[in-house]
Structure 1
Amino acid sequence: MELRHLEYFLMVSKELHFTKSAEKLGISQPTLSHQIKMLEQEVGYPLFNRVGKRIELTKVGEIVQQEALNIQGSIQSITSQIAAFTKVEIGELKIAVLPGEITDLVSTLCIQFNHLYPNIKVLIETTDQVEKAVIENRADFGIGFQLNQYDMLQVTKLYDEEFYLISNQSHEEQTISFSSVLDGPLILFPGLHQCRKILDITSDEVGKQLEPIVETSSIQSILNLVRSGVGRSVVSRTLYEFYDTEDLFFQHIEKPSLTRAVYLVMKKNCFINYPARKYIKLLVREIEKLHFHTEKDSITSLRSAIL
């Protein structure tokens, strides 16, 4: 079994289309089909079910795909270890994040990271499938919420955070009920935003309809509209801490409170390259500096893994 056969197979298993796969691989479609047939003969079972022009992985194909990804990851790990040993501060960092404020957190930290390591290129993939990006080696690590557990992934809880109601006026009461939050005009992120999803679910639970007067995906626009008195907003503590909000006021939300956990996901037993180690250390330092609620055992274990 040759490595190129596995490379061809992984491309077809990803695209599920021989012609598109052949174009991406830079070979002819008949050549690709022949190579896949050779691999199937060596395995002894069909790897794809062919139904007209459509194809899908067989059960054996799914097994081969998983092991091929492991082999691909091991080869990339060898390359990463050599690069980390010979070119410590040169290379690239690939991060997968869920759409929303975590993207803002990661991007904001990139300013500090670039200042410290100007020769390291940072690639941020915003995706709803953070785990898949890590498994397929498109990312060195991922950050998200409520990540699914996979045997080949190591998931570490970074911190718990809450959501604040923010406005341009001070309040005697430090807390406010969720129902009261919905009584005033709101400026919120669009429905696909992770923060908004939590608000939509909670408003359904309390039997009220969420009707913002402004929706925007720009956190700066939200903050400016709140400053001008157009309305109030609900933002995560992550965003509140990472942006200039000294002129704004916040209240804790209760009945129910709005909180969530933030996780970091990496491949198990996989070499963590130099850029990833440095970025994760920077991330943990920022989390602790902002006094987020962390689980000491998880952070200690993470530190041990990236030393």
Structure 2
Amino acid sequence: MEIRHLEYFLMVSKELHFTKAAEKLEISQPTLSHQIKMLEKEVGYPLFNRVGKKIELTKVGEIVQQEALNIQGSLQNISTQIAAYSKGEIGELKIAVLPGEITDLVSTLCIQFNQLYPNIKVIIETTDQVEKAVLQNKADFGIDFQLNPNDLLHVTKLYDEEFYLIRNQKNEGQKKVSFSSVVDEQLILFPSIHQCRKLLNKTSLEIGKQLEPIVETSSIKSILNLVRSGVGCSIVSRTLYEFYDTEDLFFQHIENPSLTRAVYLIMKKNCLINYAAREYIKLLVREIEKLHFHTEKEAINSLHSVIL
């Protein structure tokens, strides 16, 4: 049964006149009559009683009319929802991120995103397997710190960032500090499950030392407040330092070795990037550019041309 036949039938059932219905449909009356006969043959019953020049719906015609109206309504609803989805008026956005401070970056941008698209539901999946989440369509895209070549994934390096030692007092004339001396500080750090802490633990072992923080917390706001209170100092990524109110705090660059990492955007190849994902990525890229992170311009330009 073709949708076109139902559309023709509904017009005839509305006008109860083949010639008038044909004019409204902008087809010839013989063509319309032929299409209705084809529908009647498929249904197995007459849809109209023809009494002279007048026509009326049969009982079967009334059944078909009601169901055809339901189908027409469903089709209109599909079109309406697709249009709303394509404009970001409804929908869902799923983002996969590693446990830790990158979740704060994603969550902070969600505030801006929600203001622009309040009817789009945002789901942030915190997982150690960002690539797997993207490959299994559990996320529209992911943000990761690792680059594992995979023919099924499109990976874009967003930026490189370094880690700062932050204090509540400024060390005059000391813009840099060695990592070995940082380890001996009274440190307030994220727990070991955070990616930042994993990097710190690995680096400290490489120089033959072990981190022994005086406070561990998953809350960046708690870390910043503890540093403000003079409980100790902390090591945080530039991402967090820039995204939070840290004007009353002071930072030092860490060297010997310096602590840096790359941040990657991961998407599945040859898949539709929905409107919500594109708009969120636009916000992310604009924020990165505004904060003057060290980016690979070629990669960002490619992302602009292909995705944005």
Per-residue deviation, residues 214-249 of structure 1 (Å, max 9, x unmatched): 111111111111001110100000000011111000
Alignment of 1:40-59 (within 5 A): none
The answer for the alignment partner of 2:244 in structure 1 is 243
Alignment of 1:287-302 (within 5 A): 287-302=288-303
Q: Distance in 2 between matches of 1:159 and 1:84?
A: 33
Per-residue deviation, residues 151-202 of structure 1 (Å, max 9, x unmatched): 1100000000000000001012100000111122100011111100000000
**Kept after mapping to 2: 8 A contact 1:131/1:147:** no
In the alignment, residue 120 of structure 2 is paired with which amino acid?
I
The answer for the alignment partner of 1:29 in structure 2 is none
Greater Cα offset, 258-267 or 81-90: 81-90
**Kept after mapping to 1: 8 A contact 2:96/2:125:** yes
In the alignment, residue 162 of structure 2 is paired with which amino acid?
E
The answer for the alignment partner of 2:125 in structure 1 is 125
**Kept after mapping to 1: 8 A contact 2:85/2:91:** no
Pairwise CA distance, 1:147: 3.2
The answer for the alignment partner of 1:41 in structure 2 is none
**Kept after mapping to 2: 8 A contact 1:83/1:91:** no
Query: CA, structure 1 residues 175+86, in 2 after alignment: closer, same or farther (shift >3 Å)?
Result: closer
Structure 2 residue 111 is matched with structure 1 residue 111: yes
TM-score of the aligned structures, taking structure 1 as reference length: 0.72
Query: CA, structure 1 residues 131+239, in 2 after alignment: closer, same or farther (shift >3 Å)?
Result: same
Q: What's the secondary structure of 1:143's corresponding residue?
A: strand
Pairwise CA distance, 1:254: 0.2
In the alignment, residue 250 of structure 2 is paired with which amino acid?
F
Q: Percent of aligned positions with the same letter in both sequences?
A: 81
The answer for the alignment partner of 2:24 in structure 1 is none
5+ residue gaps, structure 1 = 1-78
In the alignment, residue 161 of structure 1 is paired with which amino acid?
E
Structure 2 residue 191 is matched with structure 1 residue 190: yes
Query: CA, structure 1 residues 254+86, in 2 after alignment: closer, same or farther (shift >3 Å)?
Result: closer
Q: Distance in 2 between matches of 1:126 and 1:83?
A: 31
Which structure has the larger Rg?
2
Q: What's the secondary structure of 1:104's corresponding residue?
A: helix
Query: CA, structure 1 residues 248+85, in 2 after alignment: closer, same or farther (shift >3 Å)?
Result: closer
The answer for the alignment partner of 1:273 in structure 2 is 274
Q: Distance in 2 between matches of 1:258 and 1:150?
A: 26
Structure 2 residue 221 is matched with structure 1 residue 229: no
Query: CA, structure 1 residues 86+211, in 2 after alignment: closer, same or farther (shift >3 Å)?
Result: closer
Pairwise CA distance, 1:82: 4.8
Q: What's the secondary structure of 2:240's corresponding residue?
A: helix
Q: Distance in 1 between matches of 2:273 and 2:120?
A: 15
Q: What's the secondary structure of 2:257's corresponding residue?
A: coil
Pairwise CA distance, 1:87: 5.1
Query: CA, structure 1 residues 243+98, in 2 after alignment: closer, same or farther (shift >3 Å)?
Result: same
Pairwise CA distance, 1:86: 5.1
Alignment of 1:1-307 (within 5 A): 82=82, 88-172=88-172, 173-307=174-308
The count of residues paired between Structure 1 and Structure 2 equals 228
**Kept after mapping to 1: 8 A contact 2:86/2:275:** no
Pairwise CA distance, 1:88: 3.7
Q: Distance in 1 between matches of 2:85 and 2:103?
A: 30
Q: What's the secondary structure of 1:292's corresponding residue?
A: coil
In the alignment, residue 123 of structure 2 is paired with which amino acid?
L
Q: Distance in 2 between matches of 1:85 and 1:167?
A: 46
**Kept after mapping to 2: 8 A contact 1:188/1:222:** yes
**Kept after mapping to 2: 8 A contact 1:84/1:274:** no
Q: What's the secondary structure of 1:148's corresponding residue?
A: coil
Q: Distance in 2 between matches of 1:213 and 1:88?
A: 46
Q: What's the secondary structure of 1:244's corresponding residue?
A: coil
